[in-house]
Structure formats: C-alpha cells, structure tokens
C-alpha cells in the first residue's frame, strides 16, 4: 500500500477512535466515520473489508497501544520515584487528556467493552487483549518493585484507574483521578 493509502487508512482509524471513545460503538456509524475522516466512502471498504466491526476492532487495539505508550512514558519519566509516582504521572496525563477533550476522551476501550463485549466476540476479544496487556505491564512494574501479589494488585490498579476515569468524566472534574492517585500510593 502506498503512502496515500496508509494516510487514508490512518485517517479512518483516527476518526473511528475519536468517535468510539467519545460516544461509543453506536455513535461511530459508517457515515459519521467517513465524514469525520474526510476519506471517500469506497476507501472504508477497501481498507476494512470486514466493515464497521473490523474498523472498530482495529481502532480499539490502536487506542490500547496509545495508552500502553503513555504507560511506558510515565514509567520512564518517573523511574526514580517508583510505581506509585509513575501511576500518579499516568493519571495526570490521562486527566489532562480528558480535560482537554472537554471530558469526552477517557479510555479508548471502556465504552466499547461496556456496549459490545456481551454480544460481539471479536470486539470482546480485542477489549480483553488490550486490558490484559495493560495488566501485564502493571504486574511487571509491581513485581519489579517487590510487590507480594503483583497480578492481583495490577487488576486492582487497572480497575481503580478505569473507575476514576469514568467518575472524572461524569463529574467533569479531575478530583476522582487525584483521589485515585492517593489511593494507589497506599495500594502499591
């Protein structure tokens, strides 16, 4: 595929990711995706012959990779401060991202997971794999800090972060994220 094709494919994924993150699966209709991307409608089926579900699945995975990169960046930025400081830095970045989007961009996976995991096996699997990769990263960090139960703590950390994002979005406030950072310092 040439550069122009890759750019078009990227624009379709960008638009889909924004739409699912801010409004979920049902807000990301094919017409909305095409309009938001500026790509010709024919390009959608050329790049995503599986249609909407393939496009959403790839957007979920891509969004998951972006959060993984934020996690890695926060880890690098706070290497000397330990896991609690790294998680506080991650929550700060996620809070800034949420606030800058007018409280619309929380987690790129949660909305799809809540809407579709029970009914769509491919999307459930994509959401599960993204969450599992985040848990694995967190468990590795906690194990390297000598945490006695890194896998269980990683699940608790991820659940706390996801819940804090939902609360921050609902309250239109970073306070739930700040409280979660303080609770995580006690947990890890």
Per-residue confidence (pLDDT) for residue 78, from 0 to 100? 57
Contact 177, 97 (CB under 8 A): no
Distance CA 64, CA 58 (A): 10
Helix (H) or strand (E) holding 143: helix 121-144
> What is the structure's pLDDT at 93?
87
Contact 164, 178 (CB under 8 A): no
The pLDDT tens digits of the residues spanning 134-161 come to 999 899 888 888 899 999 999 999 999 9
Is the distance from CB of 37 to CB of 1 less than 8 angstroms? no
CA angle 154, 85, 173 (to 5 degrees): 85
Six token digits for residue 27:
């807000």
User: Which phi-psi region, left, alpha or beta, contains residue 2 (left: φ > 0; alpha: ψ -120 to 50)?
Assistant: beta
Which residue numbers in the chain have pLDDT < 50?
A: none
Domains of the chain in start order, with CATH, are: 57-187 (1.10.357.10)
Position 146 scores a pLDDT of: 87
Q: What pTM did the predictor assign?
A: 0.89
């Amino acid at each position: 595929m040439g550069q122009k094709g890759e750019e078009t494919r990227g624009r379709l994924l960008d638009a889909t990711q924004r739409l699912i993150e801010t409004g979920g699966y049902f807000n990301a209709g094919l017409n909305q995706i095409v309009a938001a991307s500026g790509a010709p409608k024919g390009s959608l089926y050329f790049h995503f012959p599986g249609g909407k579900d393939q496009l959403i699945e790839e957007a979920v995975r891509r969004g998951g990779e972006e959060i993984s990169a934020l996690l890695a960046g926060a880890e690098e930025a706070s290497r000397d401060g330990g896991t609690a400081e790294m998680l506080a830095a991650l929550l700060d970045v996620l809070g800034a991202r949420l606030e800058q989007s007018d409280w619309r961009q929380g987690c790129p996976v949660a909305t799809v997971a809540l809407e579709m995991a029970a009914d769509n096996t491919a999307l459930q699997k994509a959401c599960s794999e993204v969450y599992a990769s985040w848990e694995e990263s967190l468990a590795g960090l906690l194990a390297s800090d000598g945490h006695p139960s890194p896998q269980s703590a990683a699940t608790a950390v991820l659940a706390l972060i996801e819940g804090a994002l939902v609360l921050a979005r609902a309250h239109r406030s970073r306070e739930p994220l700040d409280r979660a950072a303080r609770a995580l310092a006690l947990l890890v």
